[in-house]
Structure 1
Amino acid sequence: MKPTEPSGPAAFPMAARVAQLDALHEPAVRDLAWLLFSADLLRAQPPVGMLADSFETSLEETATLDWLRTLDTNPSQLQQDIAAARITRLGRYAECLLGWFLQHGPAAHLIAANVPLRRSGLTLGECDFLVQTRAGRRLHWELAVKCYLHAGNGRELLADYVGPNLQDRFDLKLTHLIDHQLPLSAREEFATLGYTGPWDAQMFVKGWLFYRRGEPTRDPVELDPAHGRGWWATRSEWPAFAAAHAGQWRVLPRLEWLAPRRHERDAAEQQGIEFLDANALIERVAHQSGPTMAAAFSLDEGSRWVERSRGFIVPDDWPDKAQAFARQ
């Protein structure tokens, strides 16, 4: 890195970055851009829980924006690599995207991914990414992409943010990150693997948090105030909620839970992407046993479907179950 290269504040204000990223068309490129540029879910949690930064300097940020626009015009290699991975899990999809950027992008580069630590034949854990910046820093990144629904009644606790299927909770995930995952690169077993350090461990936590009917709450101190926000509503609440949110609706498959979706109108018709009115949507999800993510869309100048909001429709008994899970 040249001594005169600027560092510190981002090259572009947030509004300008969003406008540039919204111009991207290929879904995988948009998802990668969202992974790199979206707000973190968490503030830093020192001394252990420090945040990863996709870019070391504003020049790297500018170069990445240019690189993404170029990739958007010819995404075939990215598409082929994702298809070859046969991805079914959202976390694995995010890993593939971030790994691809570290291998091909203009910023930090990948040294190794999914590095297992073992002792006496037992696996202690895996380091998600070992990364070297252009300035020579060696970083250990732990990636997590999460969607949590706020199930609390006025409490300002991470425990009130629960996974839609009630198998995950934000406070437990953060504790696991800080107490187990981030310290892996400082363990004696890691030192024997031959990856010369020292390594700075950082957490790369992205995602969306969803609030009942989209109503504001007071955030726990651990959260980044700029985090991605959505709504959730019970099936009984749905008619009134949908009436206040004009547009067409679409169920979002799990691998479309990263960036806000955009669909060219003609391409959507050719691909059989279905947009529904509010009544048809609730009929579609009525017999599902758990929460379903859906998004509201409108036509932008008649040529492109643009996501306006996203959230979960949950069974009527889900809130009581969620509050019980939050208090376990």
Structure 2
Amino acid sequence: MAAGASELTRLVDRFDDITVRDLAWLLFAPDLLREGDATLAHPFASQAERDATLAWLKALDASPQSLHEHTRNPRFTRLGIYAESLLRYFLAGGPAARLIAANVPLRLQRRTIGECDFLLETANDVRLHWELAVKFYLHIGNGDASRAARLSDYVGPNLQDRFDLKHARLVTHQLALTSRAEFAALGFEGPWRAQLFIKGRLFYHGLAGERIDAAPELGANHLRGWWLTASEWREARARASGDERAWVVQPRMAWLASRRLDASDAESLIAESDDIRTRLETTASPTMIAAYLRDDAGNWTEESRGFIVPDDWPERARAFAASAP
């Protein structure tokens, strides 16, 4: 019961607290993978659970202190750990499945061989093993428009991760953990149904977000963004005279739900826009940015997200993608 992009925006925008918005995004964002590629996790077993979750989030939005205490740990400096803390909070206290255990390590001869992200039980007494992944990849083609995209064409911004490698690891190793003898020895009574909880956003070349035939493993409604090289960004800015957008550099911990700006924040960002644009034109590493527009009511809402990458990034990214078998 994941939402499409426009419905997701409407769902998230009903909440004011940013941590609640991030949790709503995690629960309702469309899956990166298509149904059938692997068994995908669904946060809600029924429409009633979905409706109850929205009511629960509304109450949480009015009093989010416990969520803040749970997630705003100084040790949570990685986006994946932050996302895990959000999902753990929901499973521990939300109106859907019940959390049994989280981050369960498996060891063989004192060596850790894996860790089960979440063990939970549904209202229908089905025991589930969820593996969570929140990923952001940029699509890099090889210039051959006739070739269908492959998972290996989706690479991490810093070229240290690739979608085909992550997918293989999740399916062949992580999902298999609850079927191993080492897990059975822990005493968690099964049987266990292993599922992927995989969210994120994929970025395509060009401000309009290049429209290609996505890799067949991908969900049809996956969230999209764009990417440009620093030179392309400079040229785009030169053509966009009178642009009244506010451009914001998105820190990694702000990569989940869309943000909103109040008037004072937007005014200061617009005043600094020339400096922001200049820094991005000479960026030494991929940088996520968001564009905000002012609506008729004077509110600033996020229009799109994208990456500005160094000019030599596409060549390095193609080489990284081409190293796939």
Farther-moved stretch of structure 1 (178-187 vs 240-249)? 240-249
Identity of aligned residues (%): 51
CA separation of 1:138 and 1:292: change in aligned 2, threshold 3 A: same
Asked if residue 194 in structure 1 is aligned to residue 183 in structure 2, the reply is no
Counterpart of 1:182?
175
Superposition RMSD on alpha carbons, in Å? 2.2
- Whether the aligned pair in 2 keeps the contact of 1:250 and 1:275 (CA below 8 Å) is no
Counterpart of 2:30?
39
CA separation of 1:75 and 1:163: change in aligned 2, threshold 3 A: same
Q: CA deviation at 1:13?
A: 8.8
CA separation of 1:162 and 1:13: change in aligned 2, threshold 3 A: closer
Deviations 1:212-245 (A, max 9, x none): 0112111111000100000000011013434467
Name the aligned partner's letter for residue 262 of structure 2.
E
Counterpart of 2:290?
295
Counterpart of 1:96?
85
Asked if residue 73 in structure 1 is aligned to residue 62 in structure 2, the reply is yes
- Whether the aligned pair in 2 keeps the contact of 1:233 and 1:241 (CA below 8 Å) is no
Deviations 1:85-127 (A, max 9, x none): 5311110110000000011110011111110000111111000
Counterpart CA distance in 1 for 2:153 and 2:166 is 12
Asked if residue 215 in structure 1 is aligned to residue 215 in structure 2, the reply is no
Counterpart CA distance in 1 for 2:139 and 2:4 is 29
- Whether the aligned pair in 1 keeps the contact of 2:134 and 2:200 (CA below 8 Å) is yes
Counterpart of 2:118?
129
Counterpart CA distance in 2 for 1:207 and 1:275 is 28
Counterpart CA distance in 2 for 1:313 and 1:18 is 23
Q: CA deviation at 1:82?
A: 1.6
CA separation of 1:14 and 1:233: change in aligned 2, threshold 3 A: closer
CA separation of 1:278 and 1:157: change in aligned 2, threshold 3 A: farther
Q: Which runs of 5+ in 2 are unaligned?
A: none
CA separation of 1:114 and 1:276: change in aligned 2, threshold 3 A: farther
- Whether the aligned pair in 2 keeps the contact of 1:235 and 1:282 (CA below 8 Å) is no
Counterpart CA distance in 2 for 1:226 and 1:278 is 32
Name the aligned partner's letter for residue 116 of structure 2.
C
Counterpart of 1:169?
162
Q: CA deviation at 1:134?
A: 1.1
Counterpart CA distance in 1 for 2:314 and 2:11 is 38
1:109-120 counterparts in 2 under 5 A?
109-120=98-109
- Whether the aligned pair in 2 keeps the contact of 1:235 and 1:313 (CA below 8 Å) is yes
1:166-315 counterparts in 2 under 5 A?
166-213=159-206, 214-242=209-237, 243=239, 247-266=245-264, 268=265, 274-275=269-270, 279-315=274-310
Name the aligned partner's letter for residue 108 of structure 1.
A
Q: CA deviation at 1:273?
A: 7.2
Counterpart CA distance in 1 for 2:290 and 2:197 is 25
Counterpart of 1:326?
321
Counterpart of 1:148?
137
- Whether the aligned pair in 2 keeps the contact of 1:249 and 1:276 (CA below 8 Å) is no
Q: Which runs of 5+ in 1 are unaligned?
A: 1-9
Counterpart of 1:316?
311
Counterpart CA distance in 2 for 1:163 and 1:61 is 32
Normalised by the length of structure 2, the TM-score is: 0.90
Q: CA deviation at 1:283?
A: 1.5
CA separation of 1:275 and 1:256: change in aligned 2, threshold 3 A: farther
Name the aligned partner's letter for residue 171 of structure 1.
D
CA separation of 1:280 and 1:11: change in aligned 2, threshold 3 A: closer
CA separation of 1:16 and 1:206: change in aligned 2, threshold 3 A: closer
Question: Paired residues, what number?
Answer: 314
- SS of residue matched to 1:285: helix
Farther-moved stretch of structure 1 (277-286 vs 165-174)? 277-286
Normalised by the length of structure 1, the TM-score is: 0.90
Q: CA deviation at 1:280?
A: 2.9
